[in-house]
Amino acid sequence: MKIGVLALQGAVSEHVGYLEKGMGNLKITGEIVEVRNNYELDGLDGLIIPGGESTTLSLLMEKEGMFEKLRGVPKIFGTCAGAILLSKNILEPVNGQRSLGFLDIKISRNEYGRQLESFEAPLETKLGNLNGVFIRAPIIEKVGEGIEVLATYGERPVAVQQGNYLATTFHPELSGSTRFHEHFLKIE
């Protein structure tokens, strides 16, 4: 298995660390690649798009010519900013921000507040309980058909899946739990 972590900006080392250490039940045999250009997308079995700043990630992905090539990656897991990039509809995109449109969700950037308003909260998910870490997190305003909600915070979805695409508005790589990474690796 060859799993990439988009390494243009954001929480790259945390995801790579989870994959390299094999924490909990997370077992990966194969290669972990930090993806910095579109050539490093070749031959991936999956890609993690980490949190960071979604506009910056979008512009850097555009500059590297990644948008079209990402259509060939069999499965993608987006966390926080990565969830924004996977969505079909970004409310109020800025500075030419694009998304991949893989998940039929409507998402609003930074709706849980600024950096100082970041928080942690216990989450009951379909994958088990964990501590959700929300840092300038987006809010999923609406889910379309075919979206499975894996976790909510209050009444809002915070983890969703549609086919081979998985997204969380929180940072599972900071939760101390590998449940979402394990689930991602099992997606066929």
H helices of 81-128, in order, are: 81-86
Identified catalytic residue from 15, 40, 64, 173: 173
pTM of the model: 0.93
Q: Is 171 a catalytic residue?
A: yes
Identified catalytic residue from 171, 181, 182, 183: 171
Q: What's residue 10's pLDDT? A: 84
pLDDT (tens digit, 9 = 90+) per residue, 124-170? 999 999 999 998 889 999 999 999 999 999 999 999 999 999 999 99
> Nearest CA to 57 among 114, 115, 12?
12
Round to whole Å and give the CA distance between 99 and 55. Answer: 10
Q: How far is CA 127 from the centre of its chain?
A: 16
Q: Is 24 helix (H, G, I), strand (E, B) or coil?
A: coil
Q: Residues with Cβ < 8 Å from 136, sequence gap 6 or more? A: 80, 110, 112, 113, 114, 115, 118
- At 2, is the pLDDT very low, low, confident or very high (cuts 50, 70, 90)? very high
Do residues 138 and 168 touch, judged by C-beta distance below 8 A? no
Round to whole Å and give the CA distance between 79 and 63. Answer: 21
Give the residue carrying structure tokens 């980490």: 50
Identified catalytic residue from 15, 80, 181, 183: 80
Q: Is 148 a catalytic residue?
A: no
Q: What is the DSSP letter of 114?
A: -
The structural domains of the chain, ordered by start, are 2-186 (3.40.50.880)
Q: What's residue 79's pLDDT? A: 96
Sheet with strand 165-168: strands edge to edge: 31-35, 2-6, 46-49, 76-79, 165-168, 156-162, 148-153, 119-125, 128-134
Q: Is 173 a catalytic residue?
A: yes
